[in-house]
Amino acid sequence: MADEITKTELKFTTNRASNNPNILINTRKANCVGYSAMFNSIANFLIKNNDLENKIKAEHKIGKLDFLGINIHQFFKGTFFRDHDFNELTNKETGKKIVIDPTVSDYLRINRITKNK
């Protein structure tokens, strides 16, 4: 649900944009940092409102994008592609993790990604 709300509320930009969800809700323009910050804020709101703090943990993470085992950041110049933001939801009871990249989800309709250690 947090992913759907994030995709509905934001539009991707490569321009400089805020990563503060309180500002993003008005500007509606975000890069990967803003998408992940908004997703994390919404996910934590939903977790708290549904009394799930003891069961689910939502975290904003930073990493690299690989496609077929190739780090795609090497093909881009500039600091914009230095790293990439994504989110991790952890079931505290089972340890199972779901990794979501709200930017990739919005752009490519890929709703789950994998995370290498």
Q: For the residues 42-49, what does the mean pLDDT come to?
A: 98
* Per-residue pLDDT reduced to its tens digit, 48-86: 999 999 999 999 998 766 666 766 656 666 554 556 788
Quickly count helices (H) and strands (E) in the chain.
Answer: 4, 7
Handedness of CA 28, 38, 114, 78 (dihedral sign): positive
Band (pLDDT 50/70/90 cuts) for residue 102 is confident
Place of tokens 């947090």: 2
Task: Give strand pairing partners of 48.
Answer: none
Q: Quote the DSSP letter at residue 81.
A: G
Q: Is-above-0.75 flag for pTM?
A: yes
